[in-house]
Amino acid sequence: MSKAKVEKRSKCMKPFLKYMNVRHVFPTRYTVDMDLKKTVADEDLAENKVEIKKNLKKIFEERYLNQKEVTSEKKAAGSAYFFQKLRF
């Protein structure tokens, strides 16, 4: 794909926020090295939901456009898995 087409497709990402209990999260073999704890804090979740979504979208778009710059093969596989289209 051309660079313009990739950028156009990356603009349609829509992040969402959901508060989850840690005990209900199922671990997988894929890991993505994005630190979202600084962006999403429990205290700010109720107040600044719109701002947090905007910041998450920026982080996801940057990572989507720079997937090939990942150093580790394991993290690159996790990044590819994270950004693939869901098939239902």
Predicted TM-score (pTM) of the model is 0.67
- Neighbouring residues of 15: CB distance < 8 A, sequence distance ≥ 6: 53, 56, 57, 60
pLDDT beneath 70: ranges in the chain: 22, 30-32
Q: What is the pLDDT of residue 30?
A: 67
Q: What per-residue confidence (pLDDT) applies to 40? A: 78
Q: Name the residue among 31, 33, 37 with its Cα closest to residue 52.
A: 37
The predicted structure's pLDDT at residue 63 = 82
Count CA atoms within 13 Å of residue 3 on its CB side: 1
